[in-house]
Amino acid sequence: MAYLPKKEFVFTAGSPCTIEAIKAVVNRVAQMQAAGLEDATLTDIPCGMAQPYSTCKWDITIADADVGGDVVMEIAEETTSEQDTMNRAALSTRRKIDFGVAPTTNEFSLRSILALLSFIEKLEDQVAAAGHVGATGDATYTNIILKGVSPYETHKWTVEKADDVYTCTATSES
């Protein structure tokens, strides 16, 4: 993913899904980006997940010169094993989240999104450790600096967490 160009990636909020499903679509878009993105509207694109017995499908809109985002992703369907009272799938400690990245005209890499998801996983681990859905970690994290894959790579994001809703805003340094 290191060589892939920066784009404005947008995630449409409103449909909760697992972090694993978000990672699956990030990897799928990386494959598409490596093969050369063409403007298109793709529906029900299957994305492989790391968890057994789990599947997800995404709607992906690619419009390279679009003001509302170069690549827009929206969860179409996710199938996981049985959910518990915290909305966590079996074999997972994390619940489904409502994840959104709005268009801002700031371009960033898919590796930046993976760093952002790593931060969100840590917040969700706090919720799982507390054992309840409450307001654990609710706050607005402004201009947080996230470590990337390499030791010299950093990404700056603003994240607003309200229960299981994460509204993320890319900065010029994302």
Mean predicted confidence (pLDDT) in 17-24: 90
Tokens 């909760």, residue located: 16
Q: What is the model's pTM?
A: 0.88
What residues pair up with 128 in beta bridges, in sequence order? none
Mean predicted confidence (pLDDT) in 106-123: 91
User: 3-state DSSP call for residue 30?
Assistant: helix
Tokens 């694109």, residue located: 45
Q: Residue 168 pLDDT > 90, yes or no?
A: yes
Mutual angle of helices 110-130 and 19-35, in 10-degree steps: 170
Domain boundaries, the chain: 9-170
Mean predicted confidence (pLDDT) in 23-41: 90
The predicted structure's pLDDT at residue 84: 56
Higher pLDDT pick, 41 / 52: 41
The string of pLDDT tens digits covering residues 140-156 is 999 999 988 777 889 99
Tokens 């998801």, residue located: 117
